[in-house]
Structure 1
Amino acid sequence: MINYEVMFIIDPALEDDAKEATIEAVKGIIAAEGEVGNTDVWGMRKLAYPIQKKSEGYYVVIEFKAEPTLPKELDRRLKISDNVMRHLIINKDEK
């Protein structure tokens, strides 16, 4: 298994329970084929540039271990999610 990290920005207009549901959904996608590691919720932060006319976002970072096929599926599902404004998946083992 390879070590990965996903950072995503959730729409700040969502209610707190919707933000938690989005985080749990991402963890569920990862847990189906991999192992969820440390989850670090950064909370509301100012964006470097406006995204969808919003200047703030709710940041979350999740470390996980998975086979090389999981990041592609996770990327696809995060792209179509209305709650996630941006995301980035990093291979931590790659040099």
Structure 2
Amino acid sequence: MQGLYDLMLMLDPAAPEERRTEIVDGVQSTIESEGQLIGAHDWGTRRMSFEIDHKGEAGYHLLQFEGGTELLDRLDRTLRIADGVLRFRIVGLKAGSPPPPAPRAEAPRTREQPAESQRAPRA
């Protein structure tokens, strides 16, 4: 049975550009050979909410596709061992789900002030 899925890839920005392109192209060809690729969105390099392997940023790619459980298993196996993939998540969607939103602009980075500088001087 074919289902509708989103695949979010978080790629290591330190990996060579050729390797990152190879990963995305490989995933797309796997999807096209065993299912149907509906959309591919490159969200660029963005700051992550927490570090993974001491890295604070990742290259985000969203792929939407239809496929069966064999395709999901193959993608899972392939992406778990692929060098350059920090994280990935496959999420099942219901029919009629809205399209993905455009990526939001990142908030400017602010530097936090040390707690000592915010305290009032003692009298």
Alignment TM-score, normalising by the size of structure 2 = 0.72
Which residue of structure 2 lines up, in the alignment, with residue 52 of structure 1?
A: 53
Counterpart for residue 26 of structure 1: 27
Give the distance between the partners of 2:9 and 2:56, measured in 1 at CA.
15
1:55-74 pair list within 5 angstroms: 55-74=56-75
Cα distance in 2 for partners of 1:76, 1:18 equals: 18
CA RMSD of aligned residues (A): 1.3
Q: Structure 1: which 4+ aligned runs deviate by more than 3 Å? A: none
- In structure 1, what is the equivalent of residue 90 of structure 2? 89
Work out the percentage of aligned pairs sharing the same amino acid.
29
Which structure is higher in strand share?
1
Separation in 2, partners of 1:69, 1:21: 22
Of stretches 20-29 and 52-61 in structure 1, the one that deviates more from structure 2 is 20-29
Larger Rg: 2
Gap runs ≥5 in structure 1: none
- The number of residue pairs the alignment matches comes to 94
Gaps of 5+ in 2: 96-123
1:30-55: CA deviations, max 9, x gaps? 11210111101001000111101100
